[in-house]
Amino acid sequence: MGVTVAEKAAALSLPTALAALLLLAPPLLAGPPCATCHASEARQWRRSLHARSMEDPLYLAMRGWARADLGGQAPKMCSNCHSVALAGGAGRTPSVNCVSCHRGAGVSPGPAGWRVEPGPQVAASRPTASSPHPVVVNPRLASGELCLVCHGELHNPRGVPICTTGQEAGPPGSRPGCTTCHMPFASHVFPGSSARLLSQAASLAIELNGRQAVVTVVNLGTGHALPTGSILRRVRLEVFFQDKTGQELGRRSETFARTLEDAGGHAPVPPWRAAAVHSDTRLQRGERRVFRYPIPAGARRITARLVYSRAPAKLLERLGLANAPDLQPAEMTRTTRGL
């Protein structure tokens, strides 16, 4: 006969009822057993993009496009980052959830090699005086190094970089950890492109040099490139000139993004078609970039602003997501100078 739940509970000094939940329930939910004791963290997590990692409209649309191009191998490739495999081939988590981080272990580098291990042992960022289950302290949780298992480095099957946040951030000790910005006060919302973080990501200034407007952008509020992560993301600098009535006299713009090309040199292309990086105009950590524009005759005011987008407008139109509320461009910061 197998070992009973009660016998396992006794061996682990666990209450039998809680042991039943931990040992027998599918390790998939941010509800019981985790939310039984960690209700606040569970509520926060449900508001996060991690909770919707397999349901996000942009993800589903891109996955459908990839399936049309690649067939059955596309979902497996996509799932490597948007869910976590259960040990022993028992399936995958339905999202990036509690067990993804707190019961995960690496069998090989990168997200494809991360597994949710069975059993009640739970990783934590610090020791606890009392817990109904075994706890092992993992300093990588507190430092944010664990985030880089999935967010650190990713290439497509041809070796083209798709995500390089870890490389952009630099070696441990040379930068603040991911949790400094993305888990304030241990929040499990994991803010990424929140209004607060976007407003702090870069500085923007306008100076005058004769009949030129000198616009300076500095990536001083992130620990990585701006933008980072998904190849679809971009930041746009928009500069426009107005006369004394507010009439626009001219507009200039710059885009900060990494763009991919296929084997024929066509760009932009989705990640699975990419054979090389076509261009990379993103602002690296701490980078300062200066742009000079002629001032139109009659201009009395110059405005510059930075706008963040999760995906290009033309792509969202192609995918039928142009009006999706969560995918609308977001202004990061703006500055105005009179003439």
Per-residue pLDDT, averaged over 65-94, amounts to 89
Q: Which helix (H) or strand (E) holds 318?
A: helix 313-318
Cβ neighbourhood burial of 173 (10 Å; 0-12, 13-18, 19+): exposed
CA angle, 275 then 281 then 285, to 5°: 115
Summarised one tens digit per residue, pLDDT across range 246-255 is 999 999 999 9
DSSP per residue, 239-278: EEEE-TTS-EEEEEEEEE-EEEE-TT---S--GGG-SEEE
Summarised one tens digit per residue, pLDDT across range 279-336 is 999 999 999 999 999 999 999 999 999 999 999 999 999 999 999 999 999 999 999 9
What distance in Å separates the CA atoms of residue 49 and residue 270, rounded to the nearest whole number? Answer: 21
Which single residue is written with the structure tokens 């509320």? 325
- Report pLDDT for 128: 81
Per-residue pLDDT, averaged over 85-89, amounts to 91
- Report pLDDT for 133: 86
- Report pLDDT for 220: 93
Q: Do residues 306 and 239 make contact, with C-beta atoms less than 8 angstroms apart?
A: no
Per-residue pLDDT, averaged over 208-218, amounts to 97
Q: Cα torsion at 211, 302, 196, 313 (round to 10°)?
A: -100
Instruction: Go through the domains of the chain in sequence order and give each one's CATH number.
Output: 5-151 (no CATH), 195-338 (2.60.40.2150)
Specify the higher pLDDT residue, 145 or 257.
257
Phi, psi of 331 (to 5 degrees): -70, 130
Q: Do residues 104 and 116 make contact, with C-beta atoms less than 8 angstroms apart?
A: yes
pLDDT band (50, 70, 90) for residue 23:
very low
Phi, psi of 235 (to 5 degrees): -120, 135
Q: What is the CA radius of gyration of the chain?
A: 24
- Report pLDDT for 62: 96
pLDDT > 90 fraction of the chain, expressed in percent and rounded: 73
In this predicted structure, the answer to whether residue 13 has a pLDDT above a threshold of 70 is: no
Phi, psi of 252 (to 5 degrees): -130, 155
